[in-house]
Structure 1
């Protein structure tokens, strides 16, 4: 069943969100993108309003809840940046695309209404493509989040284990810093090699596309068309869009094999910085000279806050429910630390280590 009122409210809410984000955005390119998105959402709301009127359905007024919700998006953008905010918006666009695709197969819409809905769906697909990680620099943010996560969990577990063996807080801090330094080096080297490989693969795919364009342009057209259909466009709409794309060799290359916009060096530096940022909370109390139960409790408290925050951001970046991911990361991180602490106690007892 099609919930016209909900669809109308959702589209108006999205329009309000984009308008709120516009108020604080300085980047000219992003301002243009957000402005286009807001205008499109307004058109979509009008479509659902027209459907409601034709069926005698009264639509709810947009009240303070929606306006507060839009302002919360603006607050989220202030705290965590445009990239993560856009990722949240992208996940809602994906939900809308799935829902509207289901509507097209229903008998409750006339052929004319389905044609209009297909245009709305086409807009939503374009929105999702506009809200890409490349457009808003999301790849850097994602690398940072996962780097912080790795550093936090690994060093928390190590420090917890050291705290059960070493009485001197400076030794615990030194052990944590050594583990953190080694993790920073290994993770940054891994990020460098991974990005380097992606760059090489992208160049290789680009050359293949160039060869295909020279030998058989039709096969490239079919690849583009298939990708558009998978995004939710009908065969006929995808065919028209694909014909436009294949007219321009540059557009084809960008569509089939998008260029890697983050350099290998930049990726390595981002990973190193984020890993260091991650291992600071569990080590900080011991660096301050706090040992024993006080140092341990404070280390766990700071790490728990960091785990919940990072888990939430990981959820946002990976299209998983943020609070669910937040609690999962908290449980796994603290669980790993407690297990390592228990191993340290066992080692201290049986190996008679107490420094």
Structure 2
């Protein structure tokens, strides 16, 4: 409406923008709908709630467009990629990407989008963040081992191979060094991950309430109520611990089945279970680290396996490792909800920085020996 109350026709740029928003809302609803079809229970209901919200947003743009709505246009490339992955994998990576997409909504700076829609998008980001966090917790142990294993294999063996190559030794020596580095590193990574994860799990198990202690509950002195000390030791205030202990003992006194199952717990059991799940198992972490390190470490060796030597071999090894570092860095970025490009470039810079140092030292060492 203008200042006289007459309807004002939208500009062509506005219509194009509205149609793009409508296409994106439809595509995002499709992503959430596809993810919901692969879930059950509460997560499915949450995702379907997001579908309903996206459909409300669609209606806003449909009403603005009116007869100008035209034929549906494709959504942007990012949303189409998300839809592709959602329909085929429905993984936590899609949720992490959606979290980032929701946080970059253009509605806050668009006068044609009501403030409520901009607020919706912001809250959608938090909803998706919560869903993604569940998935991250389920795979974080194995994913950490996979990323660390692959990255260490790429960087350490590239540094070893280019450093040896820079000294001017025979190609066979460089190849032998690369293979030895692969095997030694993979075994070291596997053993290190096993010990690390096993130690973490043992520390957590040491903090878990002893189930056999429940047998002593019916025989406690009700007046002394030493059960309260257990709860105080686990973080409750003196007043809350006394109250909770009295409730437990009262339930025991009126129960024919003995102490309740959760009598010695104040909620830490669930936290410990989540922590165990997040860490993963020692063997899975060890095996994942071993094979991922080996997979990463073999890449710098490939040019030498195919007969290249000297600078051409170094250049090809660096190019192959660079691509792999970009992919692992981008994967970390996607999973963390951060910029995949920034994480990929960071990974590339760290890897090439380490290789450059060893190459320079190799040149210096080779010159000194010569």
Q: Is the shorter-chain TM-score for this pair beyond 0.5, marking a shared fold?
A: yes
Per the alignment, residue 269 of structure 2 pairs with 253
Residues 49 and 59 in structure 1, CA contact (< 8 A), matched pair in contact too:
no
Q: Secondary structure at the match of 2:299?
A: helix
**CA root-mean-square deviation:** 4.6
Q: Secondary structure at the match of 2:167?
A: coil
Q: 1:344 & 1:218 partners in 2: Cα distance? A: 56
Residues 184 and 272 in structure 1, CA contact (< 8 A), matched pair in contact too:
yes
1:85 to 88, 94, 107: 94
Question: Displacement of 1:186 after TM fit?
Answer: 2.4
- Distance change in 2, residues 1:266/1:208 (3 Å): same
Per the alignment, residue 143 of structure 2 pairs with 141
Unaligned runs of 5+ in 2: 1-17, 109-114, 215-226, 241-261
Per the alignment, residue 175 of structure 2 pairs with 173
1:44 to 25, 39, 53: 53
1:307 aligns with 2:325: yes
Q: Secondary structure at the match of 1:66?
A: coil
1:234-273 matched pairs, under 5 angstroms: 253-255=269-271, 258-261=274-277, 262-273=280-291
Q: 2:204 & 2:148 partners in 1: Cα distance? A: 23
Question: Displacement of 1:278 after TM fit?
Answer: 0.8
Deviations 1:300-336 (A, max 9, x none): 1211211221221122233431101112222222232
Question: Displacement of 1:173 after TM fit?
Answer: 1.4
- Distance change in 2, residues 1:83/1:41 (3 Å): closer
**How high is the TM-score relative to the length of structure 2?**
0.63
Q: 1:326 & 1:77 partners in 2: Cα distance? A: 23
Per the alignment, residue 166 of structure 2 pairs with 164
Select the structure of larger CA radius of gyration. 2
Per the alignment, residue 204 of structure 2 pairs with 202
Q: 1:174 & 1:76 partners in 2: Cα distance? A: 40
Residues 92 and 132 in structure 2, CA contact (< 8 A), matched pair in contact too:
no
Q: 2:168 & 2:88 partners in 1: Cα distance? A: 38
Q: 1:142 & 1:284 partners in 2: Cα distance? A: 25
Q: 1:309 & 1:80 partners in 2: Cα distance? A: 18
Unaligned runs of 5+ in 1: 101-107, 224-245
Per the alignment, residue 297 of structure 2 pairs with 279
Deviations 1:200-240 (A, max 9, x none): 233344429998897479949xx9xxxxxxxxxxxxxxxxx
